[in-house]
A = this chain, B = another copy of it.
C-alpha cells in the first residue's frame, strides 16, 4: 500500500495505486489527476470505527465532508457506516443527492443561513451543531413547526470554545479562546445557549461539541479540551439537571505528509481519549455519553495521490550553493492544491513512471500559474525529463475540495482506484465549463 514511506511498484517500475498502474491511469484520464485509493479510504474508515468502538460502548465516527466530498465519497462513507458531517447547503445537498440517510448527517457552520437551517430541518438531518445564540433563535423559528407536523424535535448540540491553543498553523487553529467558532465557556454564553435550547419547543438538546484545530500530531489538545468539556457537562447537570448525552470531540488528528514525520496512530489516539473520558466521567460522577468524532483529513488524505505531467525544466543560476536551482514545472499547481500557498504545507514527490529509480537530483517543483506557486521547495527525484509523471502523495484532503479555476485552469478529474480497477468519480472540467455561467 502506498504510504509516504513506501510505494508499491508494478513490474514495469511504475507506481501502483489501488492495484492500478498510475501511468495507465494518467494516460486514460489525463493530468493533473487526483487518484484516491478507495480501499485505503475504506480501511481508514474501519480503523477509526474499530479503534473507538472496541474501547467505548457508544460511538459515532462522522466523516468531515469538507476534506473531500463528491457523490461517490458520500456513498462510500454511508457504506462504511460512518456518519457524515456537512457544513453548508452545498455539502448537505451533495450528501442528500448521494442518497445519504439524513438521520446520520450532522450540520455544522459558524454562520448557517436560515435557508441552510430550513433545508436541514426539512430533510430530517440527525443533528445540528449550534454555533451561537443568534443561530439558536433562527433555528427555533425553523423547528417550531415540527411538533405540529407530528415530527420529532430537532436534535441539537451546542458548540463550545474549549479554550485550548493547539500547536498547528494559525489558519487551522479553532480551539483557542479568540475564535469565531462556538460559545464561550467562561463568559457563560455556552450555558445560556444550553438553557435556551432546553427550553425551546421543537428542539432537543443532546450534547456539546468542541473542536480544537486541524492536523494535530498528538492528543494533547484533545485531552485538554475533553477536561474542559466534562467540567461543562457538570455545570449543565448542576444548572439544568440534564445529562450531556452526546459528547462530540470534533476532528483534528493529522497525518504524516513527509517521510519520518510522526503522528499518533489512531489506535493510540482512541486509547488516550477513551481512557481519559472514562476516568473523567467517573471522577465527576457523570453517566457515559455517546462519543462522537469527526475525522476528515485522517480518513482521506493519505489515500490520495496527485499525478502531474512534467513540462519545462530549467537550471536557474542562484546565489546559494550549489549555484544552480533546477526548476521542474508541472501542468497544475496552486489551483489544484493551494495548501503550500495557504499553510506553507510541505509535500514529497516521486516519479510515478520511474518509481524504482534512485532519487539523485534535487529539484524545485513549480506549478504553471502566473504566480510564484512553488508546489515543493526542494525534493530529490531521479533526474526528471519532460513527459515524466510526477506523483505527489498524501493529497487526498483539502485539494479537490479547495481547488479553484485560477488562470482559468479546468479542475482535474478524480478517480477512485481499487483492486486493480479504476472509476471516474468526478469528471475533468472542460474549457466550455469555464464560461458556462458567463452572460
User: Which residues of A line the B interface, CB within 8 A?
Assistant: 64-66, 69-72, 87-91, 93-94, 97, 108-113, 131-135, 161, 170-174, 177-180, 183-184, 186-187, 189, 311-320, 325, 327, 329-331, 338, 341-342, 364, 366-374, 386, 401-410, 423-429, 431, 433-439
- Return the chain B residue nearest A133 by Cβ: B314
Of the listed residues A174, A338, A402, A439, the one surrounded by the most CB atoms of chain B closer than 10 A to its CB is: A439
Cross-chain contact of A94 among B374, B401, B428, B434 (Cβ < 8 A): B434
Copies held by the complex: 2
Q: Distance (Å) between the CB of A219 and the closest chain B CB?
A: 21
Given contacts A93-B434, A426-B439, A435-B97, contact A88 B404 (CB under 8 A): no
Q: Is the CB of B342 within 8 A of A338?
A: yes
Chain B residues whose CB sits within 8 angstroms of the CB of A338 once the complex forms: 338, 342, 404
Q: Distance (Å) between the CB of A206 and the closest chain B CB?
A: 21
Cross-chain contact of A429 among B135, B161, B171, B437 (Cβ < 8 A): B437
Q: Distance (Å) between the CB of A274 and the closest chain B CB?
A: 25
Given contacts A87-B407, A90-B409, A402-B406, contact A312 B439 (CB under 8 A): no
- Return the chain B residue nearest A178 by Cβ: B318
Given contacts A134-B313, A184-B317, A317-B187, contact A435 B71 (CB under 8 A): yes
Given contacts A404-B403, A408-B91, contact A177 B438 (CB under 8 A): no
Q: Is the interface of A mostly helix, strand, loop or mixed?
A: mixed
Q: Distance (Å) between the CB of A71 and the closest chain B CB?
A: 4
With the chains together, A186 CA to B113 CA distance in Å? 57
With the chains together, A330 CA to B111 CA distance in Å? 7
Chain B residues whose CB sits within 8 angstroms of the CB of A435 once the complex forms: 70-71, 93-94, 97
Q: Is the CB of B179 within 8 A of A110?
A: no
Of the listed residues A135, A178, A371, the one surrounded by the most CB atoms of chain B closer than 10 A to its CB is: A371
With the chains together, A64 CA to B369 CA distance in Å? 13
Cross-chain contact of A88 among B170, B171, B408 (Cβ < 8 A): B408
Q: Is the CB of B434 within 8 A of A131?
A: no
Chain B residues whose CB sits within 8 angstroms of the CB of A64 once the complex forms: 370
Q: Is the CB of A408 within 8 A of B94?
A: yes
Of the listed residues A180, A367, A401, the one surrounded by the most CB atoms of chain B closer than 10 A to its CB is: A180
With the chains together, A278 CA to B170 CA distance in Å? 49
Chain B residues whose CB sits within 8 angstroms of the CB of A374 once the complex forms: 180
Chain B residues whose CB sits within 8 angstroms of the CB of A404 once the complex forms: 338, 402-404
Q: Is the CB of B90 within 8 A of A366?
A: no
Q: Is the CB of A312 within 8 A of B410?
A: no
Q: Is the CB of A72 within 8 A of B439?
A: yes
Chain B residues whose CB sits within 8 angstroms of the CB of A426 once the complex forms: 437-439
Chain B residues whose CB sits within 8 angstroms of the CB of A401 once the complex forms: 405-407
Chain B residues whose CB sits within 8 angstroms of the CB of A109 once the complex forms: 368, 370
With the chains together, A159 CA to B367 CA distance in Å? 17
